[in-house]
């Protein structure tokens, strides 16, 4: 049986040209980038070249890009680092985020609460988008940071980041956007967006796992989370993962070259949604009325257990998910979908489909057929149970 992958929001396969860059670095550029001899400087050159490649993709200065171990670390670095910077200087003890953030942001906010920082979690409506007016109301003189994701990992819904940035800039409050699910799926210009921090992850961009980056706008005061060395201009100590970073740089270059493929990806998503809505009763698209990244759709199937449908599709050769890979196996319904007003039973009946550059129209057709058959089978079982 041939298996087809529709779970690119969880992780992506490493692109051939990225793999080639990583392997060449592992085999030839093995020096420590902090060493001053030939081997160390060769590694340093490749690391800085990758930094420039990623900076070019997001229209930043290379010095504003800090490499990390992944999106989770980048999110934590922005929230904890900024909150801890502002607190002793100005007494700011308040952070604003949303109810639909990735667990990396929500868990970091929970930690800040344990440290005595107040956290406001903005609600979203049925469309999955925050009301900027709610943000204006939530801002306080003691607000240290606002953190709102660029694109949601479960629904693909895009937040009004530029408007949020204007509001925070007027208030003099730094703004962090989790861009992990937006990079490579949307044009990202951090200067035009107006963000102060922007989190990124390599393995969502056809590069290896274990590498990420945080954009920190020049001039923003910031406290590191880790200590032990002067790497990354004193912002993130530790010997750099040069092969992984080189792969991230190659993936960033590939993303800039693949931008023309995004409209086709959006058409495949629309094709899948239309096939499901036309052929399977009791279905709907969560967040359908909002702007979304081109590769992601989240569909509910009334009367179906989402985990059972994931397994049924896997047996037919299709990889999908019920939502965030970081929450797989959770018995509670998606916090994103319940925040959008879905009742728990409908949230549990929802499936995320996330397309990638390698998916084809034929694969979409085959998935739609497998969905129709699997849903009908599961509903028959449910009736007779």
CATH number at residue 98: 3.40.640.10
Task: Mark whether 177 and 272 lie in a shared domain.
Answer: no
**354 and 296 in contact (C-beta within 8 Å)?**
yes
Task: Give the Cα separation of 244 and 25 in Å (integer).
Answer: 9
Task: Give the Cα separation of 79 and 19 in Å (integer).
Answer: 32
**42 and 29 in contact (C-beta within 8 Å)?**
yes
**319 and 6 in contact (C-beta within 8 Å)?**
yes
Final residue of a structural domain among 200, 229, 257:
257
pLDDT tens digits, one per residue of 160-182: 999 999 999 999 999 999 999 99
pLDDT tens digits, one per residue of 108-148: 999 999 999 999 999 999 999 999 999 999 999 999 999 99
pTM: 0.95
CATH number at residue 267: 3.90.1150.10
Task: Give the Cα separation of 119 and 340 in Å (integer).
Answer: 20
Domain that holds residue 99: 16-257
Task: Mark whether 218 and 270 lie in a shared domain.
Answer: no
Final residue of a structural domain among 257, 285, 302:
257
Task: Mark whether 186 and 333 lie in a shared domain.
Answer: no
If you average pLDDT over residues 34-63, what whole number do you get?
A: 96
Q: Which helix or strand (DSSP H or E) is residue 135 part of?
A: helix 132-138
Angle between helix axes 361-384 and 306-315 (nearest 10 degrees) is: 120
Catalytic residue (one of 225, 226, 308, 326)? 326
Three-state DSSP class for residue 247: helix
**14 and 206 in contact (C-beta within 8 Å)?**
yes
Task: Give the Cα separation of 247 and 123 in Å (integer).
Answer: 37
Number of domains in the chain: 2
Q: Which residue has the tokens 């990806």?
A: 265
* Catalytic-residue membership of 326: yes
Task: Mark whether 63 and 186 lie in a shared domain.
Answer: yes
pLDDT tens digits, one per residue of 195-249: 999 999 999 999 999 999 999 999 998 888 888 888 988 889 898 999 999 999 9
């Amino acid at each position: 049986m041939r298996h087809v992958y529709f779970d690119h929001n969880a992780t992506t396969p490493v692109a051939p040209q990225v793999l080639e860059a990583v392997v060449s670095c592992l085999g030839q550029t093995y020096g420590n980038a902090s060493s001053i001899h030939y081997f160390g400087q060769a590694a340093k050159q490749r690391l800085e070249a990758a930094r420039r490649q990623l900076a070019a993709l997001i229209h930043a200065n290379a010095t504003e890009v800090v490499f990390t171990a992944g999106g989770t670390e980048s999110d934590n670095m922005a929230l904890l680092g900024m909150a801890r910077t502002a607190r002793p200087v100005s007494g700011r003890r308040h952070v604003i985020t949303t109810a639909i953030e990735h667990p990396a942001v929500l868990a970091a906010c929970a930690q800040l609460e344990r440290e005595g920082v107040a956290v406001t979690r903005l609600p979203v409506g049925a469309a999955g988008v925050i009301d900027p007016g709610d943000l204006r109301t939530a801002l306080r003189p003691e607000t240290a940071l606002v953190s709102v994701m660029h694109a949601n990992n479960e629904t693909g819904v895009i937040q009004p980041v530029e408007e949020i940035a204007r509001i925070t800039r007027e208030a003099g409050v730094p703004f962090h956007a989790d861009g992990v699910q937006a990079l490579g799926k949307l044009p990202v210009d951090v200067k035009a967006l107006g963000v102060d921090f922007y989190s990124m992850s390599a393995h969502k961009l056809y590069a290896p796992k274990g590498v990420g980056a945080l954009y920190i706008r020049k001039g923003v005061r910031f406290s590191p989370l880790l200590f032990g060395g002067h790497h990354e201009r004193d912002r993130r100590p530790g010997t750099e993962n040069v092969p992984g970073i080189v792969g991230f740089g190659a993936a960033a270059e590939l993303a800039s070259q693949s931008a023309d493929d995004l409209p086709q990806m959006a058409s495949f998503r629309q094709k899948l949604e239309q096939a499901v809505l036309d052929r399977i009763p009791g279905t709907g698209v969560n967040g359908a009325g909002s702007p979304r990244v081109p590769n992601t759709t989240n569909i509910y199937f009334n009367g179906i257990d989402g985990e059972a449908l994931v397994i049924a599709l896997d047996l037919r050769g299709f990889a999908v998910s019920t939502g965030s890979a970081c929450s797989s196996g959770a018995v509670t319904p998606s916090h994103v979908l319940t925040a959008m007003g879905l009742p728990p039973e409908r949230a549990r009946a929802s499936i995320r489909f996330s397309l990638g550059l390698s998916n084809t129209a034929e694969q979409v057709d085959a998935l739609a057929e497998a969905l129709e058959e699997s849903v009908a089978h599961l509903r028959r079982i449910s009736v007779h149970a």
